[in-house]
Amino acid sequence: MAAAQESGIGDTREDEKAEAEKLRSATVESAHWLRGEVSRLWDGYQRQPRFARMRANIVIAFAVLAAVSVFMAAPTPNRIGAHPRLVRSPDRTGWIVSVENLSKAPWTNVVFELDDGAYQYPPGPALPIVAPGVPYGVEVPRFATAGSLPGTGQPPPGYRPKAVHVRCDQGDLRAELFE
């Protein structure tokens, strides 16, 4: 025990306990302060005439709606660097799902799914690799239901997908498809 005290091991635990107690007391003090401030604001709000409270409610409702709108409009993070889009086929009879890897690293074990997993490409094992900077286009008729036999489970003719889900070892991305 004497060797432990000489090396300072016991002091470290006491220091950690003291720091934890300081943090706890600061948290409790902050909570009491916040409760007092909210109580003060609520009392001031209650003392206001009815018309002033109605105006305050309208302003608060507008602020909440604006914050929710901004939050809903914010784009989802694209961690894998995928840029998906929908392209009309050259013969104008169908669609091509084009996904470009904009990251600097290749994707491995890649699967593309349309409309929440209704169809996927490839229907069997995943693509081993998709190189960065190269658009990868797949005609919609080449998609099929997962595990279907070759030549079966394809989307109906003229099927226009609404969303794509790119899954790979590096992450995944769900995105709506636009021309």
Per-residue pLDDT at 6: 52
Report the alpha-carbon distance of residue 173 to residue 75 in Å, rounded. 12
Q: How is residue 158 written in tokens?
A: 């003229």
Report the alpha-carbon distance of residue 30 to residue 12 in Å, rounded. 27
Assign a CATH topology to domain 82-176: Immunoglobulin-like (2.60.40)
Amino acid at 94: G
Per-residue pLDDT at 1: 46
Per-residue pLDDT at 76: 66
Instruction: Report the b/e string of 123-140 with b at 16+ CB within 10 A.
Output: beebbeebeeeeebebeb
- Cβ proximity of 101 and 132 under 8 Å: yes
Low-confidence ranges of the chain (pLDDT < 50): 1-4
Say how many Å lie between the first and final Cα of the chain, rounded: 74
Per-residue pLDDT at 151: 75
The three-class DSSP label of residue 22 is helix
Per-residue pLDDT at 61: 95
Per-residue pLDDT at 35: 94
For the chain, domain boundaries:
2-73, 82-176
Per-residue pLDDT at 20: 87
Report the alpha-carbon distance of residue 171 to residue 88 in Å, rounded. 28
